[in-house]
């Protein structure tokens, strides 16, 4: 499953919190630590990236020692790019190293309040051929102002699984079946069809029957499962369930019904990762 993980770090406070989560990922045996130095823009002071590169190498080596003490095999890489962009370097490394999961924080150093997804994370998510786990954090008030509180403790303990009963959604469910660390699963289906009240209610009842079948199967496998049938905007309702149930993670397919292969990320997946306040694992359907 997730035996080999690529952790792309920008060395920010958010990235440091994400690093703490690596040990919570099931089956991880190998980790590739990557930092990309963007040297694509000239500076009036000349080439001044040397100290940054050395600092990054030292930083990654410290992380390497920590992970090796946990029994993991670790490789570090500082990639200095003079063309292209950071997300391209992350995707290229993921392919070259043949990783099974890309782990990164949803925010970077240029975090803007109210912006729930950074541009690099979004670009990686749109084009990755691998599963992507985007980490998020609670902001809590401390004596020195707002501080980060990680979500990754028992990240796979209470999972929201949204489904439209499509083949891509089944792929995400197949992954959940293998995660014996999950204590509770919140099944979610959002009804989006129906012109009149009777049609909507009929679709709700049909969804409940399908969720019952999934629930029975998961119960037999030893999982505790709850069902949620909502009506409205899929992404809004999925995020609402995750918030209401205080979920530790949302696990969903990158695509749903009627998906087009040329689109590397479906609308619902995009809207969930953009607006969710919880970590999101996007399972690549292609």
Question: Which residues make Cβ contacts (< 8 Å) with residue 72, sequence separation at least 6?
Answer: 22, 28, 29, 30, 31
193-238 pLDDT, tens digit per residue, is: 877 888 999 999 999 999 999 999 999 999 999 999 999 999 999 9
The two beta strands, 280-283 and 249-253, are: parallel
CA distance 272 to 169: 15
Q: Which of 116, 24, 118, 105 is nearest to 72 (CA)?
A: 24
Residues 175/178/184/188 CA torsion (nearest 10 deg)? 20
pLDDT at 76 over 90: yes
pLDDT at 49: 72
pLDDT at 259 over 80: no
82: how many CB neighbours lie within 10 A of its CB?
12
In 70-208 the beta strands, taken as DSSP E runs, fall at 73-81, 101-105, 131-135, 137-142, 145-150, 158-162, 184-191
Q: What is the DSSP secondary structure assignment for residue 215, as one 8-state letter? A: H
CA distance 269 to 260: 14
The better pLDDT of the pair 147, 195 is held by: 195
Q: At what angle do helices 86-97 and 119-127 cross, to 10 degrees?
A: 40
CA distance 237 to 205: 18
Maximal CA-CA distance, the chain: 69
| CA 149 and chain centroid, separation | 17
Lowest mean pLDDT among 75-84, 221-230, 252-261: 252-261
Domain covering 158-283, topology: Rossmann fold (3.40.50)
158-283 matches 4-150 in CATH topology: yes
In the chain, where are the structural domains located?
A: 4-150, 158-283
The better pLDDT of the pair 241, 111 is held by: 241
Sign of the four-CA dihedral 210, 216, 219, 220? negative
As its CATH architecture, domain 4-150 has 3-Layer(aba) Sandwich (3.40)
184 contacts 219 by C-beta, under 8 angstroms: no
Q: Quick one: average pLDDT of 239-243?
A: 96
157-197 pLDDT, tens digit per residue, is: 999 999 999 998 999 999 999 988 898 999 999 998 877 88
pTM of the model: 0.88
CA distance 36 to 94: 13
């Amino acid at each position: 499953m997730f035996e080999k993980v690529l952790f792309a770090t920008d060395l920010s406070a958010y990235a440091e919190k994400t690093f703490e989560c690596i040990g919570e990922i099931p089956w991880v045996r190998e980790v590739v630590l990557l930092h990309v130095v963007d040297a694509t823009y000239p500076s009036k002071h000349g080439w001044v990236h040397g100290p940054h590169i050395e600092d990054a190498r030292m930083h990654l080596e410290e992380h390497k020692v920590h992970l090796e003490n946990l029994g993991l095999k670790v490789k570090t890489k500082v990639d200095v790019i003079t063309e292209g962009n950071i997300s391209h370097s992350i995707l290229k490394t993921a392919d070259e190293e043949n990783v099974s999961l890309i782990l990164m924080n949803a925010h970077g150093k240029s975090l803007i309040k109210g912006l729930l997804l950074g541009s690099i994370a979004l670009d990686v998510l749109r084009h990755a051929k691998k599963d992507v786990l985007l980490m998020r954090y609670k902001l809590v008030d401390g004596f020195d102002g707002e501080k980060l509180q990680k979500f990754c403790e028992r990240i796979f303990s209470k999972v929201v699984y949204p489904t439209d009963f499509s083949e891509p959604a089944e792929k995400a469910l197949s992954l959940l079946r293998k995660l014996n660390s999950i204590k509770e699963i919140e099944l979610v289906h959002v009804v989006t069809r129906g012109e009149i009240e009777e049609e909507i209610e009929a679709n709700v009842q049909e969804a409940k029957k399908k969720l019952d079948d999934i629930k029975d199967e998961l119960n037999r496998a030893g999982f505790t499962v709850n069902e949620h049938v909502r009506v409205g905007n899929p992404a809004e309702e999925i995020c609402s369930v995750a918030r209401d149930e205080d979920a530790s993670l949302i696990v969903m397919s990158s695509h749903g019904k009627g998906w087009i292969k040329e689109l590397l990320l479906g609308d619902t997946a995009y809207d969930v990762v953009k607006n969710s306040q919880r970590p999101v694992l996007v399972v690549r359907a292609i």
